[in-house]
Structure 1
Protein backbone atom coordinates (compact mmCIF):
# COMPACT_ATOMS: atom_id res chain seq x y z
CA UNK A 1 0.00 0.00 0.00
CA UNK A 2 1.34 3.43 -0.85
CA UNK A 3 1.32 6.37 1.51
CA UNK A 4 -1.50 8.71 0.40
CA UNK A 5 0.59 11.74 1.44
CA UNK A 6 3.50 10.97 -0.90
CA UNK A 7 3.63 12.88 -4.17
CA UNK A 8 1.35 11.40 -6.78
CA UNK A 9 1.95 12.30 -10.42
CA UNK A 10 -0.78 12.22 -13.05
CA UNK A 11 -0.15 12.96 -16.74
CA UNK A 12 -3.12 15.18 -17.45
CA UNK A 13 -2.64 17.76 -20.20
CA UNK A 14 -1.62 16.33 -23.55
CA UNK A 15 0.59 18.33 -25.94
CA UNK A 16 -2.41 19.58 -27.96
CA UNK A 17 -4.13 21.01 -24.86
CA UNK A 18 -0.94 22.75 -23.73
CA UNK A 19 -0.15 24.14 -27.18
CA UNK A 20 -3.76 25.29 -27.50
CA UNK A 21 -3.66 27.00 -24.10
CA UNK A 22 -0.40 28.89 -24.53
CA UNK A 23 -1.05 29.84 -28.17
CA UNK A 24 -4.46 31.19 -27.17
CA UNK A 25 -2.84 33.14 -24.32
CA UNK A 26 -0.39 34.65 -26.83
CA UNK A 27 -3.20 35.62 -29.24
CA UNK A 28 -5.24 37.26 -26.49
CA UNK A 29 -2.26 39.14 -25.00
CA UNK A 30 -1.17 40.33 -28.45
CA UNK A 31 -4.64 41.57 -29.37
CA UNK A 32 -5.37 43.22 -26.04
CA UNK A 33 -2.01 44.85 -25.36
CA UNK A 34 0.32 44.84 -28.38
CA UNK A 35 -1.36 44.89 -31.77
CA UNK A 36 -3.20 47.92 -33.12
CA UNK A 37 -6.98 47.53 -33.19
CA UNK A 38 -8.18 46.71 -36.69
CA UNK A 39 -4.69 46.10 -38.08
CA UNK A 40 -4.10 43.05 -40.25
CA UNK A 41 -2.02 41.33 -37.54
CA UNK A 42 -4.82 41.97 -35.00
CA UNK A 43 -7.36 40.36 -37.33
CA UNK A 44 -5.14 37.35 -38.08
CA UNK A 45 -4.41 36.83 -34.40
CA UNK A 46 -8.16 36.95 -33.74
CA UNK A 47 -8.85 34.45 -36.52
CA UNK A 48 -6.20 32.14 -35.10
CA UNK A 49 -7.77 32.40 -31.63
CA UNK A 50 -11.18 31.57 -33.12
CA UNK A 51 -9.73 28.58 -35.00
CA UNK A 52 -8.01 27.38 -31.82
CA UNK A 53 -11.34 27.34 -29.99
CA UNK A 54 -12.95 25.35 -32.80
CA UNK A 55 -10.05 22.88 -32.74
CA UNK A 56 -10.33 22.58 -28.94
CA UNK A 57 -14.05 21.86 -29.27
CA UNK A 58 -13.26 18.99 -31.63
CA UNK A 59 -10.51 17.76 -29.29
CA UNK A 60 -13.00 17.98 -26.43
CA UNK A 61 -14.99 15.24 -28.16
CA UNK A 62 -12.29 13.02 -29.67
CA UNK A 63 -9.20 13.85 -27.61
CA UNK A 64 -7.41 12.20 -24.74
CA UNK A 65 -9.46 11.30 -21.63
CA UNK A 66 -8.64 14.42 -19.57
CA UNK A 67 -9.23 16.66 -22.61
CA UNK A 68 -12.74 15.32 -23.28
CA UNK A 69 -15.56 17.60 -22.16
CA UNK A 70 -17.65 14.63 -21.02
CA UNK A 71 -15.09 13.93 -18.30
CA UNK A 72 -15.44 17.31 -16.61
CA UNK A 73 -18.73 18.82 -17.74
CA UNK A 74 -19.70 21.27 -14.95
CA UNK A 75 -23.18 20.08 -13.97
CA UNK A 76 -24.93 22.00 -11.17
CA UNK A 77 -24.59 18.97 -8.88
CA UNK A 78 -20.84 18.65 -9.52
CA UNK A 79 -20.31 22.38 -9.09
CA UNK A 80 -22.28 22.54 -5.82
CA UNK A 81 -20.50 19.49 -4.40
CA UNK A 82 -17.11 20.98 -5.31
CA UNK A 83 -17.95 24.36 -3.76
CA UNK A 84 -19.36 22.68 -0.63
CA UNK A 85 -16.10 20.74 -0.14
CA UNK A 86 -14.07 23.91 -0.62
CA UNK A 87 -16.23 25.81 1.88
CA UNK A 88 -15.79 22.97 4.38
CA UNK A 89 -12.02 23.21 4.01
CA UNK A 90 -11.85 19.75 2.43
CA UNK A 91 -10.72 20.33 -1.15
CA UNK A 92 -11.01 17.35 -3.41
CA UNK A 93 -8.27 17.58 -6.07
CA UNK A 94 -9.29 16.59 -9.57
CA UNK A 95 -6.77 15.22 -12.04
CA UNK A 96 -8.33 17.33 -14.81
CA UNK A 97 -10.53 20.40 -14.48
CA UNK A 98 -12.56 20.79 -11.32
CA UNK A 99 -16.17 21.89 -11.97
CA UNK A 100 -15.46 25.59 -11.30
CA UNK A 101 -12.38 25.47 -13.54
CA UNK A 102 -14.41 23.78 -16.27
CA UNK A 103 -17.06 26.47 -16.03
CA UNK A 104 -14.37 29.15 -16.35
CA UNK A 105 -12.82 27.34 -19.31
CA UNK A 106 -16.14 27.29 -21.15
CA UNK A 107 -16.77 30.96 -20.31
CA UNK A 108 -13.35 31.94 -21.68
CA UNK A 109 -13.91 29.89 -24.83
CA UNK A 110 -17.34 31.48 -25.36
CA UNK A 111 -15.78 34.92 -24.91
CA UNK A 112 -13.13 34.24 -27.55
CA UNK A 113 -15.77 32.91 -29.96
CA UNK A 114 -17.96 35.99 -29.41
CA UNK A 115 -14.96 38.26 -29.97
CA UNK A 116 -14.08 36.41 -33.16
CA UNK A 117 -17.60 36.73 -34.51
CA UNK A 118 -17.95 40.41 -33.62
CA UNK A 119 -14.48 41.17 -34.98
CA UNK A 120 -15.23 39.41 -38.25
CA UNK A 121 -18.58 41.20 -38.61
CA UNK A 122 -16.92 44.58 -38.09
CA UNK A 123 -14.99 44.02 -41.32
CA UNK A 124 -18.00 43.11 -43.45
CA UNK A 125 -19.84 45.57 -45.69
CA UNK A 126 -23.08 45.01 -43.79
CA UNK A 127 -21.61 46.10 -40.44
CA UNK A 128 -18.71 48.37 -41.46
CA UNK A 129 -18.53 51.36 -39.10
CA UNK A 130 -21.43 50.23 -36.89
CA UNK A 131 -20.74 51.84 -33.54
CA UNK A 132 -22.84 49.37 -31.55
CA UNK A 133 -20.78 46.47 -32.92
CA UNK A 134 -17.49 48.21 -32.17
CA UNK A 135 -18.69 48.88 -28.62
CA UNK A 136 -19.83 45.27 -28.25
CA UNK A 137 -16.43 44.03 -29.44
CA UNK A 138 -14.67 46.31 -26.94
CA UNK A 139 -17.01 45.23 -24.14
CA UNK A 140 -16.35 41.58 -24.97
CA UNK A 141 -12.58 42.20 -24.96
CA UNK A 142 -12.77 43.84 -21.54
CA UNK A 143 -14.97 41.01 -20.27
CA UNK A 144 -12.48 38.45 -21.56
CA UNK A 145 -9.66 40.30 -19.83
CA UNK A 146 -11.61 40.23 -16.54
CA UNK A 147 -12.36 36.52 -16.92
CA UNK A 148 -8.71 35.79 -17.72
CA UNK A 149 -7.66 37.68 -14.58
CA UNK A 150 -10.07 35.66 -12.45
CA UNK A 151 -8.82 32.48 -14.16
CA UNK A 152 -5.18 33.24 -13.29
CA UNK A 153 -6.00 34.20 -9.70
CA UNK A 154 -8.16 31.10 -9.23
CA UNK A 155 -5.39 28.86 -10.63
CA UNK A 156 -2.91 30.36 -8.17
CA UNK A 157 -5.36 30.09 -5.27
CA UNK A 158 -6.32 26.50 -6.07
CA UNK A 159 -2.63 25.64 -6.40
CA UNK A 160 -2.22 26.64 -2.76
CA UNK A 161 -5.46 25.07 -1.56
CA UNK A 162 -4.93 21.73 -3.31
CA UNK A 163 -1.14 21.59 -3.04
CA UNK A 164 -0.81 21.26 -6.84
CA UNK A 165 1.17 23.70 -8.98
CA UNK A 166 -1.45 24.26 -11.69
CA UNK A 167 0.60 26.68 -13.85
CA UNK A 168 3.47 24.17 -13.91
CA UNK A 169 1.05 21.41 -14.86
CA UNK A 170 -0.10 23.46 -17.86
CA UNK A 171 3.54 23.66 -18.98
CA UNK A 172 4.65 20.08 -18.26
CA UNK A 173 1.33 18.28 -18.68
CA UNK A 174 1.75 16.56 -15.30
CA UNK A 175 -0.08 17.34 -12.06
CA UNK A 176 1.85 16.40 -8.95
CA UNK A 177 -0.45 15.98 -5.97
CA UNK A 178 1.52 16.60 -2.78
CA UNK A 179 -1.48 16.37 -0.46
CA UNK A 180 -3.82 13.51 -1.11
CA UNK A 181 -7.20 13.64 0.54
CA UNK A 182 -9.19 10.50 1.30
CA UNK A 183 -11.90 11.48 -1.18
CA UNK A 184 -9.56 12.63 -3.95
CA UNK A 185 -11.01 11.95 -7.39
CA UNK A 186 -8.78 10.16 -9.83
CA UNK A 187 -11.18 9.19 -12.60
Structure 2
Protein backbone atom coordinates (compact mmCIF):
# COMPACT_ATOMS: atom_id res chain seq x y z
CA UNK A 1 0.00 0.00 0.00
CA UNK A 2 1.42 3.36 -1.04
CA UNK A 3 1.45 6.40 1.23
CA UNK A 4 2.19 8.71 -1.69
CA UNK A 5 -0.77 11.06 -2.27
CA UNK A 6 -2.52 10.40 -5.56
CA UNK A 7 -4.56 12.90 -7.50
CA UNK A 8 -7.08 12.20 -10.21
CA UNK A 9 -4.32 12.83 -12.74
CA UNK A 10 -1.25 11.26 -11.13
CA UNK A 11 0.99 11.03 -8.09
CA UNK A 12 1.98 14.08 -6.04
CA UNK A 13 5.75 13.98 -5.90
CA UNK A 14 7.53 17.34 -5.83
CA UNK A 15 6.51 19.92 -3.27
CA UNK A 16 6.66 23.65 -4.06
CA UNK A 17 10.04 24.09 -2.35
CA UNK A 18 11.68 21.39 -4.49
CA UNK A 19 10.22 22.82 -7.69
CA UNK A 20 11.17 26.41 -6.89
CA UNK A 21 14.64 25.25 -5.83
CA UNK A 22 15.10 23.28 -9.06
CA UNK A 23 14.10 26.02 -11.49
CA UNK A 24 15.85 28.76 -9.49
CA UNK A 25 19.06 26.74 -9.55
CA UNK A 26 18.67 26.08 -13.28
CA UNK A 27 18.29 29.83 -13.81
CA UNK A 28 21.36 30.66 -11.70
CA UNK A 29 23.52 28.12 -13.52
CA UNK A 30 22.40 29.12 -17.02
CA UNK A 31 22.79 32.84 -16.30
CA UNK A 32 26.25 32.48 -14.82
CA UNK A 33 27.55 30.13 -17.48
CA UNK A 34 26.01 31.57 -20.64
CA UNK A 35 24.94 35.17 -19.96
CA UNK A 36 26.88 36.90 -17.18
CA UNK A 37 30.56 37.70 -17.61
CA UNK A 38 32.91 35.83 -15.25
CA UNK A 39 34.15 37.93 -12.35
CA UNK A 40 31.38 40.51 -12.49
CA UNK A 41 29.73 41.32 -9.17
CA UNK A 42 26.39 39.96 -10.40
CA UNK A 43 28.16 36.68 -11.33
CA UNK A 44 29.42 36.41 -7.76
CA UNK A 45 26.00 37.12 -6.24
CA UNK A 46 24.26 34.64 -8.52
CA UNK A 47 26.90 32.08 -7.48
CA UNK A 48 26.25 32.81 -3.82
CA UNK A 49 22.51 32.49 -4.45
CA UNK A 50 23.06 29.10 -6.12
CA UNK A 51 25.16 27.93 -3.16
CA UNK A 52 22.50 29.15 -0.74
CA UNK A 53 19.82 27.30 -2.72
CA UNK A 54 21.80 24.06 -2.53
CA UNK A 55 22.41 24.58 1.20
CA UNK A 56 18.67 25.04 1.75
CA UNK A 57 17.96 21.94 -0.36
CA UNK A 58 20.32 19.92 1.81
CA UNK A 59 18.40 21.02 4.91
CA UNK A 60 15.12 20.21 3.12
CA UNK A 61 16.56 16.78 2.36
CA UNK A 62 16.34 16.03 6.08
CA UNK A 63 13.18 17.88 7.12
CA UNK A 64 11.13 18.19 3.92
CA UNK A 65 8.28 16.23 2.46
CA UNK A 66 8.58 12.49 1.82
CA UNK A 67 10.05 12.47 -1.70
CA UNK A 68 12.31 15.45 -0.92
CA UNK A 69 14.03 13.55 1.89
CA UNK A 70 17.37 11.90 1.17
CA UNK A 71 16.20 8.78 3.02
CA UNK A 72 13.53 8.30 0.34
CA UNK A 73 15.98 8.13 -2.57
CA UNK A 74 19.58 8.03 -1.36
CA UNK A 75 21.51 6.03 -3.98
CA UNK A 76 23.01 3.23 -1.92
CA UNK A 77 25.14 0.66 -3.76
CA UNK A 78 22.34 -1.90 -3.37
CA UNK A 79 19.71 0.47 -4.80
CA UNK A 80 21.99 1.44 -7.69
CA UNK A 81 22.83 -2.20 -8.47
CA UNK A 82 19.18 -3.28 -8.41
CA UNK A 83 18.14 -0.35 -10.61
CA UNK A 84 20.87 -0.93 -13.20
CA UNK A 85 20.16 -4.69 -13.28
CA UNK A 86 16.44 -4.02 -13.76
CA UNK A 87 17.15 -1.58 -16.59
CA UNK A 88 19.55 -3.99 -18.28
CA UNK A 89 16.93 -6.74 -18.16
CA UNK A 90 14.33 -4.45 -19.73
CA UNK A 91 12.22 -4.07 -16.60
CA UNK A 92 10.76 -0.64 -15.97
CA UNK A 93 10.85 0.17 -12.29
CA UNK A 94 8.44 2.78 -11.05
CA UNK A 95 9.86 5.29 -8.59
CA UNK A 96 7.56 7.96 -7.24
CA UNK A 97 10.57 10.18 -6.49
CA UNK A 98 14.09 9.98 -7.88
CA UNK A 99 15.30 6.67 -9.25
CA UNK A 100 18.77 5.71 -7.91
CA UNK A 101 20.67 7.01 -10.95
CA UNK A 102 18.68 10.24 -10.89
CA UNK A 103 19.45 10.60 -7.19
CA UNK A 104 23.14 10.09 -7.86
CA UNK A 105 23.00 12.77 -10.56
CA UNK A 106 21.16 15.18 -8.28
CA UNK A 107 23.78 14.78 -5.55
CA UNK A 108 26.62 15.20 -8.07
CA UNK A 109 25.06 18.38 -9.47
CA UNK A 110 24.60 19.84 -6.00
CA UNK A 111 28.20 18.97 -5.07
CA UNK A 112 29.45 20.72 -8.21
CA UNK A 113 27.41 23.85 -7.42
CA UNK A 114 28.90 23.92 -3.92
CA UNK A 115 32.37 23.38 -5.40
CA UNK A 116 31.79 26.38 -7.66
CA UNK A 117 30.61 28.44 -4.72
CA UNK A 118 33.68 27.55 -2.67
CA UNK A 119 36.21 28.10 -5.46
CA UNK A 120 34.45 31.31 -6.51
CA UNK A 121 34.54 32.65 -2.95
CA UNK A 122 38.17 31.64 -2.53
CA UNK A 123 39.07 33.80 -5.54
CA UNK A 124 37.80 36.86 -3.67
CA UNK A 125 40.09 36.31 -0.68
CA UNK A 126 43.56 37.80 -0.25
CA UNK A 127 45.09 34.34 0.11
CA UNK A 128 43.90 33.15 -3.32
CA UNK A 129 43.43 36.39 -5.29
CA UNK A 130 44.72 35.94 -8.84
CA UNK A 131 45.69 32.26 -8.40
CA UNK A 132 45.49 30.81 -11.89
CA UNK A 133 45.10 27.20 -10.72
CA UNK A 134 42.01 28.21 -8.72
CA UNK A 135 40.51 30.06 -11.67
CA UNK A 136 41.19 27.00 -13.84
CA UNK A 137 39.62 24.68 -11.26
CA UNK A 138 36.56 26.94 -11.06
CA UNK A 139 36.26 26.79 -14.85
CA UNK A 140 36.63 23.00 -14.96
CA UNK A 141 33.95 22.58 -12.28
CA UNK A 142 31.65 24.94 -14.21
CA UNK A 143 32.14 23.00 -17.43
CA UNK A 144 31.55 19.70 -15.61
CA UNK A 145 28.34 21.13 -14.14
CA UNK A 146 27.05 22.16 -17.58
CA UNK A 147 27.95 18.74 -19.04
CA UNK A 148 26.20 16.86 -16.22
CA UNK A 149 23.21 19.22 -16.33
CA UNK A 150 22.84 18.48 -20.05
CA UNK A 151 23.08 14.75 -19.35
CA UNK A 152 20.53 15.16 -16.54
CA UNK A 153 18.07 16.92 -18.86
CA UNK A 154 18.53 14.31 -21.60
CA UNK A 155 18.14 11.47 -19.08
CA UNK A 156 14.94 13.02 -17.69
CA UNK A 157 13.47 13.10 -21.19
CA UNK A 158 14.66 9.56 -22.02
CA UNK A 159 13.55 8.05 -18.70
CA UNK A 160 10.22 9.83 -19.03
CA UNK A 161 9.69 8.05 -22.33
CA UNK A 162 10.84 4.69 -20.95
CA UNK A 163 8.70 5.00 -17.81
CA UNK A 164 5.85 6.66 -19.72
CA UNK A 165 5.76 9.56 -17.28
CA UNK A 166 6.17 13.27 -17.84
CA UNK A 167 9.21 13.90 -15.63
CA UNK A 168 9.78 17.46 -16.84
CA UNK A 169 6.12 18.28 -16.32
CA UNK A 170 6.30 16.79 -12.82
CA UNK A 171 9.05 19.26 -11.93
CA UNK A 172 6.70 22.04 -13.01
CA UNK A 173 3.39 20.84 -11.53
CA UNK A 174 4.61 18.55 -8.75
CA UNK A 175 2.51 15.68 -10.10
CA UNK A 176 3.89 12.68 -12.02
CA UNK A 177 1.48 11.67 -14.74
CA UNK A 178 1.56 8.42 -16.66
CA UNK A 179 1.29 9.04 -20.37
TM-score range, shorter chain: over 0.9
Match of 1:66 in 2: 67
Q: TM-score when scaled to structure 2?
A: 0.94
Query: Equivalences for 1:81-92 in 2 at 5 Å?
Result: 81-92=82-93
How is 1:32-51 mapped onto 2 (pairs within 5 angstroms)?
Answer: 32-51=33-52
1:183 counterpart residue number: none
The question of 1:159 aligning with 2:160 is answered yes
- Which residue number corresponds to residue 78 of structure 1? 79
Name the structure, 1 or 2, with higher relative contact order (CA <8 Å, separation 6+).
1
**2:33 counterpart of 1:12:** no
Alpha-carbon distance in 1 for matches of 2:85, 2:45: 43
Q: Give TM-score, length-normalised by structure 1.
A: 0.90
Any idea what the Cα deviations from partners look like across 1:114-143, whole Å, max 9, x if unmatched? 000000000111100000000000000000
Q: Distance in 2 between matches of 1:167 and 1:9?
A: 14
- CA-to-aligned-CA distance 1:104-123 (integer Å, 9 cap, x gap): 00000000000000000001
Per-residue Cα deviation, 1:4-29 (whole angstroms, up to 9, x for no partner): xxx86110000000000000000000
Which position in structure 1 is the counterpart of 2:4?
none
What runs of 5+ residues in structure 2 fail to find an aligned partner? 1-7
Shift of 1:176: 1.2
* CA deviation after TM superposition for structure 1 residue 42, in Å: 0.3
Which ranges of structure 1 fall in alignment gaps of 5 or more residues? Answer: 1-6, 179-187
SS in 1 for 2:129: coil
Rounded to whole Å, the distance in 1 between the matches of 2:148 and 2:162 is 20
1:117-132 aligned within 5 A: 117-132=118-133
Displacement of 1:177: 2.6
Task: Give the number of aligned pairs.
Answer: 172
Over the aligned positions, Cα root-mean-square deviation in angstroms equals 1.0
Shift of 1:91: 1.0
Runs in 1 of length 4+ with deviation above 3 angstroms? Answer: none
Question: Which residue does the alignment assign to 1:108?
Answer: 109
